[in-house]
Chain A
Amino acid sequence: MIEPSDERAGNSAQRDTSAERWLLAEARKIRWHLLSIIGLAAGIGLLVVSQASLLASACQRVVMQGESAAQIIPFAAALVLLAVGRSLFTYVLEKKSSAAAALIKQSVRSKLYRKIQSLGPAGLAGDETGPLIETVTRGVDELEPYVTRFLPQIAVAAILPLMFLIVIIPSEWRSGLVLLFSAPFIPLFMILIGKGSESLHRRQWGRLSRMAGHLLDLIQGLPDLIIFGAAKKEAATVARVSEEYRTATMTVLRVAFLSAFTLEFFATVGTAVIAVIVAFRLLWGQLTLQEGLFVLLMAPEFYLPLRNLGLSYHARMQGAAAAERIMPLLVKPIPEGYAGSLMPSAGPLAVLIEGVSFRYGGNRGGVTGVDLELPAGSITALVGVSGAGKTTLGRLLVGLARPESGRILINGVDLTMLVPDSWRSRLAWVPQAPYFTSGTVRENLLLGRPDADEGEINSALEAAAASQFVTNLSHGLDTILGERGAGLSGGELKRLALARAYLCPATLVVLDEPTAGLDHENERLVCEALERLAAGRTVLVISHREQTLSRAERVAEMVDGRIERVVSSAVFLTPCEVAV
């Protein structure tokens, strides 16, 4: 179930720089925020130097000059003031960085979400919805530490140690040299080890999502596991996969933590070496305690920004990985849509489909050379085995996909010549699984027509045989539905979707399996609603169901992406014909 994704790692290694470049370009938009963060960090650095030098000189006075506690009070007071200043600077810095993060997250998420929507299923071929949702929600959040921690930390790691060296060298140049020469090892080792753990980490990313998917897949399929007596056995699989996951992760971490280890090593050993050097120079009287102590206090502070940079490496990995998922989506070309300039004529629409083919890469469910006429104001049913291309034809007709060859004429005008928005306003489309949002029944009804008045709503509900169950809901139209319309039955949702279609000022209606999964009673209600909806409109209904077909004037049968025959519904439903 778990396979190494070397290919993926290889690909992303190439994309790496462009995704990070994109992220840097995004960060440039908030550069003033980032610069002020760096400025505040430098300010904190100055306060640190002052704290160390005050403390060192106070010790000099007490330990070496035997001054009394009373003489030390001003030093203590000054230290408290410095602490107050440092804490204010720290707070403002964090506040700034959250604000900067908010700006970037909101702008990227908004852009990304709209882009994914405009790509649509056609532009996203191959991308599963689950990971996309993950990218829009958590993925965008993961940019935050990259932009507000890692980026400023690079500057801080360059500025602060330099600043500290400048103040240390005059008092103790030998210790300064120790710092100067140990410092470059930190980024060096960090990069060396980072490179190794990066490729490991990349592979882990894919494994992690597969692993998460594994448990959920099992939980969703629990009833089936129980029926086939496999639930117990699968518990062992959960354990095994988790175990593999642990081993894999620990392999990565053992290497990844090495970089932190080297940081820690140089910082700690550097400080220890300086303590010993300073101690002997003090013993030989070559240094005052004030100078020596100042250097000792500054040594850990010198390494701190470098260590923080090392620790923010994880933020970088996470941010870069998120950018790698976001950036390709943002640059993906939007599939060519319609951009005509003609307005569709008023009144019922006559549709003529001429030699339309569309295969969208695969062989399943495409259509080839379809010719079909939908006379104005007629009801045409489209039947055929699953995978014959019925849904595809419906999507081509409403303009969700563009024919690869052939054309679709609307009252004699090529669909490509029409203004997309005005064409859409003439359409109602009810897909197999209609869209429902968690919100009130009213919100769901008014999606296409936010301005519809109460009278229009009622007549739409009436027409769709939905007014009775809506009235019976605890809060009527203002009853809140759960996700995907949870709270209503399948039949009720279908009727609600029909009511929504009814509300649209549409003259062409395409219904995809409006009665699938319904019992006879519900099917009858939906069919009657469908007939009311059809009055004065041109209707194409995709269905297998007899009751539904009997309402159509003509039945077009699709086989392997072609229209096999178009007959009257009476002929189609004659038993001997069916038995062929």
Chain B
Amino acid sequence: MIQIVRFLKISRRQWFWMVAGIVLGVVVIAANTLLMALSGWFIASMAVSGVSGASFNYFFPSAGIRFLAITRTVGRYAERLITHAATFRILSDLRVWLFKRFVPLSPACLERYAGGDVAGRLRADVDALETFYLKIIAPLAVGIISIVAALFFLVWASPPSAAVMLLFLLLAGAGLPALVHRLSEEPGRKSAVLAAELRSKVTEGLQGVEELILLGAVERQAATVDGLSARVIVEQEHLGRINGLVLGGMALFAGSGVAAVLVTGSMQVASHQIPPPNLVMLLLFSASIFEAAGLLPSALNLLPAAQESASRVFELADAPIPVPDNHVSSTVPAGNEICFKNVTASYLPGEPVVQNLFLTIPANGSVVLTGTSGVGKSLLIEILLRFRTYEGSITVGGVEIRDVPKETLVGIIAAVPQHPHLFNGTIRDNIMLGNEAADDEQIQQALSDSALETWVAGLPLGLETTVGINGSSVSGGEARRIALARALLKNVPILLLDEPTEGLDAATEREVVSRLKKRFGATGDTSMLVVSHRPACLALGTSVILLDGV
């Protein structure tokens, strides 16, 4: 329920489309129910007139039938279009909302979420949220409103019939859904969990297939996948049977409801409380209105899985912002001297990785930090990028970095992070992320400073070569250098490099180091902090600092 409210809040901008979809849904059901009721009443009245020879004004009923038939047909088309339009509008809002939420959470919060599966899980969950309005909220609203309206109509037309119909509509529209909700909660949840598990086993098995072949473990792994698949399917079958229960129950209640109205209506006819043709109208009306009740169980059947997805997404989105932007001034730091004074920082609260660190990177100077993995070299870079909080003081150009807006700070820093990401686009797109306005000359310079120009020139499409999803079409070393070129293109006073030569062979590594030295040795308007445990990189700094563990 909380998730539905939350969902509605996020998509409130689309209220008009949502409401319009629901109104049309009610109109369509009303038109159909009234069409059947009117037709029944009309033929019964005509039959009575035919026998009694009394005159009957058939103009209005037959016009009404035509009108309702057209309303039903056109309304249905409009309803489907509008509800889908609403869905896609909501989806668009939702995605933007999520993306904006995730920006401040990155990377400290997102990385705690299932590692590489953030993407897979998120995709499935966001997809599931799509069903929220179209398959859950709209049918529930249409069903409930239509049933209530129908009961009012019956109270007016035949109170005893309204009483029995209330019973059967409650059974079909509330009892059945409640039962379904109870029954499908467990298999729904289980099937989602198992499906995720299946997905991850399939992923592992396909990515590691060569090793599995050599280990002679392919068949065993495939059997594990078979077993998981069978368990997922058992749950899906279970859900299918519950669906059978819904449809069967609906047929039972609708049939019995009509039988009950036959009795109450006949009694009213016999006691002259209603004219005989009204019996036929009541019967056809009652039979048709179960269409509205039928919307409820299927919507509620989907609810548990959708809520599960929604709560996962919201939980992620609600994670506290790991590094709040509490700036007090908005002055841009004037210099590029970086001072760490008594800095303590950690990846996880209570487990400090860096403690009481003092370090100065002089203006336009360069420092290489080295040391074993796990001593917090990368952490220092992440602190400077404001990806993590710190205690103590860090100043850039004399200004405390937590006091300036993150955006201002990041505006004067360029970096190659520990795991740079290449976006699925061309090499040019990826490099120009560093500076949208860069001209060809600047791009060529950045390429040459990262020792990429020969490689790029040798590609048939040159800069327009696509790098694939996650840079899958280029090698690790090439990806790293593309990330380096991107950082160099930004051309700002501070440059942070985390293992800039990772994945490069010795010759290329030397080439990159010497080109970087050439670039920064000459102009000297950049402060550089390099983190590396590779000997070749030590040459990048005017001083080398060995970082020791806590």
Check if A and B associate: yes
B211:A431 contact, CB within 8 angstroms: yes
A312 to chain B, nearest CB (A): 15
Give the segment of A153-161, A240-248, A459-467 that binds chain B: A240-248
Q: Which of B39, B123, B256 contacts A212 (CB 8 A)?
A: B123
Chain B contact patch, size range: 35 or more
Check if B244 sits within 8 Å of A224, measured CB to CB.
Answer: no
B427 near A: Cβ within 8 Å?
Answer: no
Specify which chain A residues have a CB less than 8 angstroms from the CB of B116 in the assembled complex: 483-484
The answer to whether B77 and A260 touch across the interface, beta carbons within 8 angstroms, is: yes
CB neighbours of A297 from chain B (8 A): 284
- Quick check: B410 and A242 within 8 Å, CB to CB? no
Contact A435 B212 (CB under 8 A): yes
B502 within 8 A of partner (CB):
yes
Q: Is A106 within 8 A of B229, CB to CB?
A: yes
Q: Does A169 contact B (CB under 8 A)?
A: no
- Please determine whether B259 and A80 come into contact, CB atoms closer than 8 angstroms: yes
The 0/1 profile, CB within 8 Å of B marked 1, for residues 202-246 of chain A is: 000000000011111111111111111111101100110011011
Contact B46–A544 (Cβ < 8 Å):
no
Interface set, chain B 166-184, CB cutoff 8 A to A: none
A526 nearest CB across to chain B (Å)? 12
- Among residues 233 to 290 in chain A, which have CB atoms less than 8 Å away from a CB atom of chain B? 234-235, 238-239, 242-243, 245-246, 249-250, 253-254, 257-258, 260-261, 264-265, 268-269, 271-272, 275-276, 278-280, 282-285, 287-289
Q: Which of B85, B115, B411 contacts A482 (CB 8 A)?
A: B115
Residues 470-482 of A, flagged 1 when their CB comes within 8 A of B and 0 if not, give 0000000000001
B520 CB to closest chain A CB, in angstroms?
A: 19
* B80 partner residues in chain A, CB cutoff 8 A: 253, 257, 260
B321 within 8 A of A: no
Q: How far is the CA of A483 from the CA of B277 in the complex (A)?
A: 69
Residues of B within 8 A of A258 (CB): 77
Least distance between A572 CB and chain B CB atoms (Å): 11
Q: Which residues in chain B, 110-124, are within 8 Å of chain A measured between CB atoms?
A: 110, 114-119, 122-123
Chain A residues lying within 8 Å of B461, measured Cβ to Cβ, are none
Q: B88 touches which one: A225, A246, A265 (CB < 8 A)?
A: A246
Contact check, A447 vs B213: say whether CB atoms are below 8 A apart: no
Nearest A residue to B197 by beta-carbon distance?
Answer: A438
Verify B424–A519 contact, CB threshold 8 A.
no
CA distance A489 to B372 in the complex (A): 13
What is the 8 Å Cβ interface bit string for chain A, positions 54-83, against chain B (1 contact, 0 not)?
010011001110111100110111011011
Residues of B within 8 A of A516 (CB): 503
In the complex with contacts A76-B263, A279-B46, A483-B115, A238-B279 CB distance below 8 A? no
A residues in contact with B225, CB < 8 Å: 109-110, 113
The interface residues of chain A lying within 8 Å CB-to-CB of B252 are: 83-84, 86-87
Interface size on A, residues (CB 8 A): 159
B464-482 vs A, Cβ < 8 Å mask (1 yes, 0 no): 0000011010011110000
Residue of A nearest to B201 (CB): A437
Q: Does A405 contact B (CB under 8 A)?
A: no
A45 within 8 A of B: no
In contact, A62 and B276 (Cβ under 8 angstroms): yes
Which residues of chain B from 75 to 123 have a CB within 8 Å of any chain A CB? Answer: 76-77, 80-81, 84-85, 88-89, 91-92, 95-96, 99-100, 102-103, 106-107, 110, 114-119, 122-123
B95→A222 contact, CB < 8 A:
no
A447-B220 Cα distance, complex, nearest whole Å: 9
A504 located at the interface, meaning its Cβ lies under 8 Å from any Cβ of chain B in the complex: yes
Residue B391 CB within 8 A of the other chain: no
Q: Decide if the interface of chain B is mainly helix, strand, loop or mixed.
A: helix
Q: Mark A26-63 against chain B: 1 for CB-CB distance below 8 A, else 0.
A: 00000000000000000000000001000100110011
Taking CB as reference atom, which chain A residue is nearest B55?
Answer: A283
Nearest Cβ distance between residue B113 and chain A, in whole angstroms? 11
Check if A340 is an interface residue, CB within 8 A of chain B: no
Instruction: Kindly provide the distance from the CB of A555 to the nearest chain B CB, expressed in whole angstroms.
Output: 12
B251 adjacent to A83 (CB under 8 Å): yes
Interface-located stretch among A320-328, A372-380, A383-391: A383-391
Interface string of B169-211 (1 = CB under 8 A from A): 0000000000000000000000000010011111111111111
Question: Which B residues touch A141, using CB under 8 A?
Answer: 236
**B270 in contact (CB, < 8 A):** yes
Q: How far is the CA of A293 from the CA of B46 in the complex (A)?
A: 12
Minimum CB–CB distance for A510 against chain B, Å: 9
* B214 x A95 contact (CB < 8 A): no
- Known interface pairs A106-B229, A235-B103; A293-B40 also in contact (CB < 8 Å): yes
Which residues of the partner chain B approach A456 to less than 8 Å between Cβ atoms?
A: none
Check A238 against B505 for contact (C-beta < 8 Å): no
A381 to chain B minimum Cβ distance, whole angstroms, is 13
CA distance A265 to B71 in the complex (A): 10
Asked if A272 and B43 sit within 8 Å, CB to CB, the answer is no
Within the complex, the shortest CB–CB distance from B537 to chain A, in Å, comes to 13
From A216, A228, A395, A421, B123 is in contact (CB under 8 Å) with A216
Q: Is the CB of A386 within 8 A of B469?
A: no
**Bound state CA distance, A578 and B509, in angstroms?**
13
Tell whether A398 is near chain B: CB-to-CB under 8 Å.
Answer: yes
Q: Are A226 and B76 in contact (CB under 8 A)?
A: no
B502 contacts across to A, CB distance below 8 A = 517
Contact flags A324-349 to B (C-beta < 8 A → 1, else 0): 00000000000000000000000000
- B99 near A215: Cβ-Cβ < 8 Å: yes
Contacts of B245 in A (CB 8 A): 91, 94
Which of A7-15, A114-122, A407-415 binds B?
A114-122
The minimal Cβ–Cβ distance linking B155 to chain A, given in whole angstroms, is: 20
**Interface pair A132/B206, CB less than 8 Å apart:** yes
Smallest distance from the beta carbon of B280 to chain A beta carbons, Å? Answer: 5
Report whether A226 and B240 are in contact in the complex, using a CB–CB cutoff of 8 Å.
Answer: no
B533 near A520: Cβ-Cβ < 8 Å: yes
Is A245 touching B210 in the complex (CB atoms < 8 A)? no
Most chain A beta-carbon contacts within 10 A, residue among B35, B76, B251: B251
Name the residue of chain A whose CB is nearest to the CB of B278. Answer: A63
Within 8 A of B (CB), among A126-157: 128-130, 132-133, 136-137, 141, 144
B410/A275 in contact, CB under 8 A = no
Q: Write out the residue numbers on chain B whose beta carbons fall within 8 Å of the beta carbon of A246.
A: 85, 88-89, 91-92
Shortest C-beta distance, B424 to chain A (Å), equals: 5
Q: Which of B4-12, B62-70, B136-144 contacts A (4 or more CB under 8 A)?
A: B62-70
User: Which of B35, B76, B89, B95 contacts A271, CB < 8 Å?
Assistant: B35
CA gap between A172 and B295 in the complex, in Å: 34
Which residues of the partner chain A approach B541 to less than 8 Å between Cβ atoms? Answer: none
Given A63-B280, A400-B213, A272 contacting B69 (CB threshold 8 A): yes
- In the complex, the answer to whether B218 meets A117 with C-beta atoms within 8 Å is yes
Across the interface, do A275 and B43 meet the contact criterion of CB distance under 8 Å?
yes
* B50 in contact with A63 (CB, 8 Å): no
Please measure, in the bound complex, the distance between the C-alpha atom of A268 and the C-alpha atom of B424, giving whole angstroms.
50
Give the complex CA separation of A59 and B226 in angstroms.
Answer: 57
**Any A CB within 8 A of the CB of B23:** no
Q: Which of B314-348 contact A (CB under 8 A)?
A: none
Bound-complex Cα distance A95 to B248 (A): 11
Residues B216 and A218 in contact, CB atoms below 8 Å apart:
no
A76–B260 CB distance below 8 A: yes
- Decide: A1 near B425, CB < 8 A? Known: A386-B478, A483-B116: yes
Closest CB in chain A relative to B132 CB, distance in Å: 16
A533 within 8 Å of B (CB atoms): no
Interchain CB contact under 8 A, B216 and A69: no
**Does A194 sit within 8 A of B, measured CB to CB?**
no
Identify A217's interface contact among B42, B218, B263, B424, CB under 8 A: B424
Q: Please, how many angstroms separate the alpha-carbon atoms of A443 and B43 in the complex?
A: 75
Query: 1/0 per residue A422-433: CB within 8 Å of B?
Result: 001101110100
- Of the candidate stretches A17-25, A97-105, A183-191, A353-361, the one touching chain B is A97-105
Residue of B nearest to A491 (CB): B373
Question: Which 9 pairs from chain A and chain B are nearest by CB?
Answer: A83-B255, A94-B244, A98-B240, A435-B208, A221-B421, A242-B92, A91-B248, A222-B106, A275-B39
Q: A69-B263, A257-B81 are in contact. List 5 more A-B contacts (CB 8 A).
A: A93-B244, A227-B417, A289-B43, A292-B43, A386-B475
Could you list some 8 contacts between A and B, CB below 8 A?
A83-B255, A110-B226, A117-B206, A128-B469, A212-B123, A226-B385, A227-B417, A288-B47
